[in-house]
Amino acid sequence: MKSWVTWFCALLFVCAPVVARAQQALPLWELGVVVGAGYLPDYPAADEYSARVVPLPYFVYRGQVFRSEESGLVRGRFVNTARIEFDVSLAGALDVKSGDNVARAGMPDLDWMGQIGPRLQITLARAARDAHIDLELPVRAVLSTDFSKIEHIGFLSVPELAYHHDNVFGNRTRLKLGLGFTFADRTFQEVIYGVPDVYATATRPAYDAKAGYMGAKISLGVAAPVTPALRMLGQVRADFHSGAANEASPLFRSKTTGTVLVGAIWSFLYSSQREAP
């Protein structure tokens, strides 16, 4: 899977959440298209990168409980106060072909992945009406599929401390600066870093992965309106894997990786009914 969460998930779930935190009421639903381009590592601590350009449909529904929006493909929001939000959400990630990555050559592909689980978000401080600092505490079960079967492949969590500003230049340009840390159980880390005996080679020894820390990330995302229907997105992210539980894996190839994403969301159809975010 590209960069553990594919470039598309990164674009919508890292850049676009700054779009969703506007203070004013938003359309109950929107329909449109998102076009994104990204340059990013093939998986965490990989030393090979891929460039992708993909157009995809875009749909948002902002109900009081059930929501389909930028901060998760589908989610049920059960608690929503000025300081605390609690939801259960569903997200996804694309696959990656091992034949396209030298380190994983000859190994099974990383299948399509889905994530589901609870997330607690706590607003720690508000610097002004449009600025706030949040602590996000998600825990997700990870599922994979090749469309013939579905398997549970572990659990992961990415606690993140994030600064949001929802009106940087007075024109509804929104910014998110985040610092996060990734942890995963042994089952998930084995999928990414494990090398079974049957796939061991002279340059890729067998390896049993361990549970624990995967790395830290620093990200900066910006979303700027061009017209009421068109929004431009951008994100830069640096990942630091030094000290990760599986540095000894032959698939662990780089202690530092970077990601650059750009995109645009065009909403060509939306409801007249409004719903607060």
- pLDDT tens across 163-220, in order? 999 888 888 898 999 999 999 999 999 999 999 999 999 999 999 999 999 999 999 9
pLDDT at 22: 41
Q: Which domains does the chain have, with CATH numbers?
A: 7-275 (2.40.128)
Q: Which two tokens stand for residue 206?
A: 């067998």
Beta carbons of 247 and 100 less than 8 angstroms apart:
no
260, 180, 256: which is closest to 222 by C-alpha? 260
Relative to beta strand 140-145, strand 150-157 is antiparallel
93, 88, 94: which is closest to 116 by C-alpha? 88
pLDDT at 241: 98
pLDDT of 19 > 90? The answer is no
pLDDT at 203: 94
pLDDT tens digit string along 121-179?
A: 999 998 777 899 999 999 999 999 888 889 999 999 999 999 999 888 888 898 999 99
Confidence bin at 258 (pLDDT 50/70/90): very high
Confidence bin at 54 (pLDDT 50/70/90): confident
Residue type, 273: Q
Q: Which of 51-55, 98-102, 229-233 comes out lowest in average pLDDT? A: 51-55
pLDDT at 20: 41
Total residue count of the chain as it appears in this document: 277
Mean pLDDT, range 84-112, rounded to an integer: 83
pLDDT at 4: 38
Beta carbons of 44 and 191 less than 8 angstroms apart:
no
Write out the DSSP string of 159-171.
-EEEEEES-TTSS
pLDDT at 28: 80
pLDDT of 66 > 50? The answer is yes
165, 213, 161: which is closest to 189 by C-alpha? 213
